Chain A
């Protein structure tokens, strides 16, 4: 029991050290030696838990994306329309990324690896599947246009939001993420929402983006 707890604590220290380095200087510049030094551990301790630097990265991607996907899922409620859950969900995701260093590092790693790391690849797939389910419900509920392909809606919105996250991370270290998400959605809404629902969702979006995040 004690040994297990100590082992878990060591693993945690390695991840935290790698997360800090990735957020400061990026993945390519963070060497295994730097991670070990910062965590104040031996090489043996690191190799006991991870077989390579990429294995550390994979663990960070998994943990960070769990947080982000969990946030998007938790924003969905049975009693609310799917389109509300989508809009609200992106703000909850923004808050989750802004409030969690592991999630921030995971986003950076996703960009570094793209399709070359299996965890990164499956993460994009999970995001797309989760989002597609919401979009299909929103079409059913009459809020999203049924005369355009739902998959095209998913692909366009997801790509735009991931891009907004990239630019926000590069230019302001992610501090203006909420605002960038809001502006991106503002432009996309008229393209995907039905004519009847547009006025309502413009106002819903404006209210959501004005709302102060719980973490700040």
Chain B
């Protein structure tokens, strides 16, 4: 019986987190109102406060929810027979496509910038990203796709910063131009660490992913809300 009650509580919690993600995905943190989350999650105020003390606690839960989901997808790609650098590019495109089209992803990244900074959550989540990319770059050095004298952590940090910056300067609600901007950035930084002899191949690899990402990305506002 206790187990069943626990499961029900978990389901309610997830329901609240998902409803909150939809709100946080499309509006700035300050404009999101807990009462509206109550309505769209279809839960009582008591239930919400039982799980989350405050809007801030709820925002942190949205970030963590997304971080877990995101990492599970990356693990899936990593076991798919691609090289380290190919996987890194695939992961970057996967992040972009979900950021464009999925409320969970968009909210997680929006909030990471808005509230994550203050209690170490941002550092924690970004560390996972940086370490993940660094491991891929390290593998890529072994596979001769990345030149030997590159520091994997530095390259990884550059890739993560590049994406977080792109979210600010480009427009996620215009998938095609966002993907084109992502492509230009990759093409620009690639000669900084990739094996010069393989640049042609990786340019083809990136271009093919752009074409597909543009086809697969559906903007959040139009379809998913």
What total of A-B pairs shows CB separation below 8 Å?
46
Would you call B79 and A78 a contact (CB within 8 A)? no
For the complex, what is the distance from the CA of A208 to the CA of B201, rounded to whole Å?
13
Q: How far is the CB of A109 from chain B (nearest CB, A)?
A: 27
For the complex, what is the distance from the CA of A200 to the CA of B198, rounded to whole Å?
11
| Residues of chain B from 77 to 109 with CB closer than 8 A to chain A in the complex | 77, 79-81, 83, 90, 93-94, 97
Q: A78-B216, A84-B208 are in contact. Are A203 and B201 (CB under 8 A)?
A: yes
| Residues of chain A from 167 to 216 with CB closer than 8 A to chain B in the complex | 199-200, 203-204, 207-208, 211, 214
| Residues of chain B from 179 to 225 with CB closer than 8 A to chain A in the complex | 200-201, 204-205, 208-209, 211-213, 216
Would you call B216 and A79 a contact (CB within 8 A)? yes
Would you call B81 and A79 a contact (CB within 8 A)? no
**8 Å CB contact of B90 from A79, A88, A91:** A79
> For A77, what are the chain B residues with a Cβ–Cβ distance below 8 Å?
77, 80
For the complex, what is the distance from the CA of A207 to the CA of B204, rounded to whole Å?
14
Would you call B213 and A79 a contact (CB within 8 A)? yes
> For A200, what are the chain B residues with a Cβ–Cβ distance below 8 Å?
201, 204-205, 208
Would you call A141 and B81 a contact (CB within 8 A)? no
| Residues of chain B from 39 to 88 with CB closer than 8 A to chain A in the complex | 77, 79-81, 83
Would you call A75 and B80 a contact (CB within 8 A)? yes
> For B216, what are the chain A residues with a Cβ–Cβ distance below 8 Å?
78-79
Would you call A80 and B90 a contact (CB within 8 A)? yes
Q: A200-B201, A203-B201, A214-B81 are in contact. Are A79 and B209 (CB under 8 A)?
A: yes
Would you call B201 and A92 a contact (CB within 8 A)? no
Complex: chain B residue closest to A82, CB-CB: B212
> For A81, what are the chain B residues with a Cβ–Cβ distance below 8 Å?
208, 211-212
14 A-B pairs within 8 Å (CB atoms) are namely A78-B216, A79-B216, A80-B209, A81-B211, A81-B212, A88-B80, A88-B81, A141-B211, A199-B204, A200-B204, A203-B201, A203-B204, A211-B83, A214-B81
Known contacts A200-B204, A207-B83; 15 further A-B pairs (Cβ under 8 A): A75-B80, A77-B80, A79-B94, A79-B97, A80-B208, A80-B209, A80-B212, A84-B208, A88-B81, A141-B211, A141-B212, A200-B208, A203-B201, A203-B204, A207-B201
Which 8 residue pairs spanning A and B have beta carbons closest together?
A: A200-B204, A203-B201, A81-B208, A79-B93, A88-B81, A79-B94, A79-B212, A78-B216
